[in-house]
Every structure is written in structure tokens, then in C-alpha cells.
Amino acid sequence: MKIISAIEEMQQTALGLKRQGKTIAFVPTMGYLHEGHASLLREGRTRGDILVLSIFVNPIQFGQNEDLDSYPHDRERDFRTAEGCGVDIVFTPDSTGMYPSGFQTGVAVRELSQPLCGASRPGHFDGVATVVTKLFNIVQPDVALFGRKDYQQLAVIRRMAADLNLPVQVIGMPIVREADGLALSSRNSYLSPVERQAALCLSRALVRVRERYAAGERSAATLKNEALAVIAQEPLAAIDYLEVRDGATLEPSQTVDSGTLVALAVKLGQTRLIDNTIVGEEQ
């Protein structure tokens, strides 16, 4: 496994591989890898001749008072995980290389970036769309894999790839959860033991929604209230948003069908966690 930090070297390596007729599968991450990332890497391994992982904590997708400076990291462990998943190249650029002085270009996916996490984190998805565009241009992937854990991010990237005719196949992967239901996240490491227990209210709320949908409930308002009631039972949880939306357009839904998205963001102390489900989809 090769570790490349220089942007130019990564791009030249990728272009050279492409000239040799190799296909490149790509998994972009912010590091502190867990089983969710590993599931993307294992799938990526089957999708290309060369598997590239990037680790880059992208400053322009963090707001002023967010956790950019405290974002967890353990590069040695990440490299071991990557090696175990068959990664060929780990790309670890630095911020000054990615955003040298004078940098002023951005990519914005206008409508899909507005609701849900975009409303609580203004500018977040512009930062995501911009860095993913840069990473795609540097890594030259044929296939790129993203988790449905970040459902809106996946929707934004799919739209961007289609709108800008990017020659990349974007693949969405299932949410990987702990045995008790908590969606894996690098940010789970911020949780105290009591917050970790309280964090189960996110997945519990989604399970309740799925059960009520399976039992025939089709009112978005009713399902939303059911989910809110589950969160309300947890005194440590503060809701950022809980929304019932169309899974394709992210527009509000009044009635629910198999493609309806229920997405939520909840704060436990200082830690903001997200989770979601498509009600009619197998999990």
C-alpha cells in the first residue's frame, strides 16, 4: 500500500494508471476509520483494479463553531484498516495544498443543499461539493462509494455528478450500525458513556417509524410525531431537526410511500449525530 500526500503525485499516478487501462475505485473519508468506512472499502475493492482511499478533514465544510480542530484522528490505525481492506493508495493531502492562498472557486448544488443538514450547517454542502470535485479531479475515479449514513451528502454528490457530467459512477452503500442500532460514526468517540446510551434514541425513533409504516401508517405528520415522542423520552437529547421528506427530491412529504426519507439530527451534549431511513427499504 502506497501513501501519497502530494496532490500532483496523486494526480500523475492516477493519470498513469488510467493510461494503462486500469479502473480506479475511490472512497473519500475524513479518517478515524470504522466498520462503516471498511464496508465501502471492501465494496470498492470489488469495483476497480485500483482502490484509492482519501483521508482529508476538509476545513471548508466545517462551520465556525464546529469540531474541525478536535476532529478525531489516528493515522496509524487508519493505515492498518486500509491495508486490511486491500487499499492500494491512501491519499492524504494537507489543507494548504488543497486550498492555497488565492483559492476562490466553489461548486454549489443549490436546492438539495438547503434543507436538513444544510439548514443547520450553512455552506456545509458547498464545501462538500467543492472538495469532492477536487478529489475526483485528482484521483480520477471510475467509481466512487459513499455511505447512505450521510444521505443528503450522497444526494448532493449524485446530483453534482449528473449535472456536471462527471465521468464517475456514484454508488450509495447501506448504513453500518452497532449491534444495538447506533449508526457508526467517527463522532461517536466524543460521546460519554451516558451520552452513548442516550444516542440510541436516534435509531430507536427510526425503528418506530419503520414499524408504524409497516403496520400501514401513511401520514407523514403522524410518523413524525411518533419519532419525536421517542426522542422526547431521552432527556439528554436535543433535536436539531427531524423531517419526513421525499427520498429523491428531499422535498417535504405529506403522505408516505416506500421511497420516503425520515432523517434526523440530534445533539447529545456537544456532539451532533445524524441518522436516517428510507421507510420501505430493507435494512
Binding status of residue 245 toward ligand AMP by CB under 6 A: no
What are the backbone angles phi and psi of residue 184, rounded to the nearest 5°?
-65, 140
Give the footprint of ligand AMP on residues 131-170 (CB under 6 A): 146-147, 149-150
CB of 20 to ligand AMP, least distance (A): 28
Task: Quote the CA–CA distance of 269 and 272 in Å, as a whole number.
Answer: 8
Residue with cell 494503462: 20
Binding status of residue 13 toward ligand AMP by CB under 6 A: no
User: Residues 185, 253, 271, 276: which binds ligand AMP (CB under 6 A)?
Assistant: 185
* Residues paired with residue 29 on neighbouring β-strands, in sequence order: 55
Binding status of residue 186 toward ligand AMP by CB under 6 A: yes
Is 261 annotated to bind ligand? no
- Give the containing element (helix H, strand E) for 47: helix 35-47
Comparing CB distances to ligand AMP, the nearer of 184 and 279 is 184
Is 147 annotated to bind ligand? yes
Rounded to whole angstroms, what are the CA distances from 138 to 13, 91, 158, 264? 9, 10, 18, 33
Neighbours of 105 (CB within 10 A): 7
Binding status of residue 230 toward ligand AMP by CB under 6 A: no
Binding status of residue 190 toward ligand AMP by CB under 6 A: no
Binding status of residue 183 toward ligand AMP by CB under 6 A: yes
CB of 221 to ligand AMP, least distance (A): 29
CB of 74 to ligand AMP, least distance (A): 13
Is 32 annotated to bind ligand? yes
Residues with catalytic roles: 37
Binding status of residue 43 toward ligand AMP by CB under 6 A: no
Binding status of residue 10 toward ligand AMP by CB under 6 A: no
Is 185 annotated to bind ligand? yes
CB-CB contact of 29 with 71 (8 Å): no
Query: What is the residue-wise DSSP string for 152-212?
Result: HHHHHHHHHHHHTT-S-EEEEEPPPB-TTSPBP-GGGGG--HHHHHHTHHHHHHHHHHHHH
Binding status of residue 273 toward ligand AMP by CB under 6 A: no
Buried b / exposed e across 54-93, counting CB within 10 Å, b at 16+? bbbbbebbbeeeeeeeebeeeeeebbebbeebebbbbbbb
Is 153 annotated to bind ligand? yes
For the annotated binding site for beta-alanine, the residues are 61
Chain contacts with ligand AMP (rule: CB under 6 A): 29-30, 36-37, 39-40, 146-147, 149-150, 173, 175-176, 183-186
Q: Which residues are annotated as a binding site for ATP?
A: 30-37, 147-150, 176, 184-187
